[in-house]
Amino acid sequence: MSLIRADLDSLPAYVPGRAIPGAIKLASNEVPMPPPPAVLAAIAEAAAGGNRYPDLAVSALTARLAGALDVDADRIAVGCGSVSLCQQLVQITCREPSDEVLFAWRSFEAYPIVTQIGAATAQTVPLTEDFRHDLDAMAAAVTPNTRLIMVCSPNNPTGTAVGRAEFERFLAAMGPDVLVALDEAYHEYVTDPDVVDGLSMVDAHPNLVVLRTFSKAYRLAGLRVGYAVAAADVAQALRKVCSPFSISSVAQAGAIAALEAKDELLASCAEIVGERTRVRDALIAAGYTVPPTQSNFVWVALGAKTADFAAHCLEHKLIVRPFAPEGVRITVSTPEENDLLLAAATAFTG
């Protein structure tokens, strides 16, 4: 008799973006700039108390978030990145192997992983031909066993976003016993006014939970801080299954300081947005298929040429993220690094 769960042999591995000395990393949707000096100072100050346990309830950060978001503190759950919150959502909703977690595919690669870790069943619905969530098909795929639905907007890795009107219709079609998680990790890069903003809808929908993160626009990917906003009972359940002390003192201090530096940090998002337009336009002009993106990356649909394109970029000291055999995701970076990417893409003959 094995000591280990047999199904873990088939657990898909999360594949992080590669880091190779001397190469430019455009594979992980990271912001190319470090945190601002005030944030770094807060991190250093907190590190000096590293001999003490962190605040188990994450109370200081929760209070700051409550004030910034204008929601009650008991409706917020902080997690070790939004990935951990995704896993906690499976834990609080799924009890039996027959319980289902529904999500689009391709979408965030952590969804099938956390579903299997939670011993639940993954149900996927293909994206549309234009790389968007097919919310009508997802609504039709709901069964009596559906417990949790993940909607990633903007979608990772395609960058496409869900509209507010279509998401309203989707929520109206859901029963009260199905929890819908709107994963908005890239919300700060959204410029289309028709794209859904989960925080504006969470009050009216007690079965909606909104996920956001400090990893992207707030430049704290290495500190692992995400948060959920939901009905108080959902947030309480998320806090109950959170691993104790998983949000470090350093991470909490960095996140609080990042909130204080919000104006500066979000102003830099506009620079990325300008560059993503330039990069997408140039790739389309070079003959590539690149859907509209509301994130800090672009999706290049390459099909069977995906692996060859990624290898070609690596020869040019550029690391992109291949999802063979569908396409590659490329982080929008500084103008200089983007120029190198565009030169390599233009030279690809595939």
Residue 32, pLDDT above cutoff 80? yes
3 state SS of 6: helix
Q: Which two tokens stand for residue 134?
A: 């097919």
Q: E strands along 117-186, which residues?
A: 121-126, 146-152, 179-183
pLDDT of residue 5: 83
Task: Kindly state the average pLDDT of the residues 44-60.
Answer: 95
Phi/psi for 35 (5° steps) reads -60, 155
Where residue 16 falls among pLDDT bands split at 50, 70, 90? confident
> Is 136 exposed, middle or buried (CB count within 10 Å of its CB: 0-12, 13-18, 19+)?
middle
Using the 8-state DSSP alphabet, how is residue 200 labeled? G
Beta carbons within 10 angstroms of residue 231's beta carbon: 18
Going by pLDDT thresholds of 50, 70 and 90, the confidence category of residue 1 is: low
Q: Which of 180, 205, 190 is nearest to 160 (CA)?
A: 190
- The rounded distance, in Å, linking the Cα atoms of 204 and 350 is 50
Percentage of residues in the chain having pLDDT higher than 90: 93
What percent of the chain clears pLDDT 70, i.e. is strictly above it? 100
pLDDT digits (tens, 9 = 90+) for 195-246: 999 999 999 999 999 999 999 999 999 999 999 999 999 999 999 999 999 9
Model confidence at 89: pLDDT above 80: yes
Burial label for 172, CB within 10 Å (0-12, 13-18, 19+), is exposed
Contacts for 72 with CB less than 8 Å, ≥ 6 apart: 66, 232
The pLDDT assigned to 12 comes to: 78
CB 255 within 8 A of CB 225: yes
Alpha-helical (H) ranges within 118-192 are 135-140, 164-172
Question: How high is the pLDDT of residue 142?
Answer: 98
* pLDDT of residue 18 exceeding 80: no
Global model pTM greater than 0.85 = yes
Residue 261: beta bridge partners? none
| pLDDT of 92 over the 90 cut | yes
Task: State the average pLDDT over residues 303-310.
Answer: 97
Partnered with residue 318 across adjacent β-strands are 24
pLDDT the model gives residue 191: 98
Query: What confidence score (pLDDT) does residue 6 get?
Result: 80
Q: What is the per-residue pLDDT for 9?
A: 81
Partner residues linked to 242 by β-bridges: none
Please confirm whether the linkage preceding 219 is cis (ω < 30° from 0): no
Domains and CATH numbers, the chain: 13-34+263-347 (3.90.1150.10), 37-260 (3.40.640.10)
C-alpha closest to that of 102 among 138, 65, 56, 140: 138
17 has pLDDT over 80: no
For residue 24, the model assigns a pLDDT of: 95
- Predicted confidence at residue 245, as pLDDT, reads 94
Average pLDDT score over the chain:
96
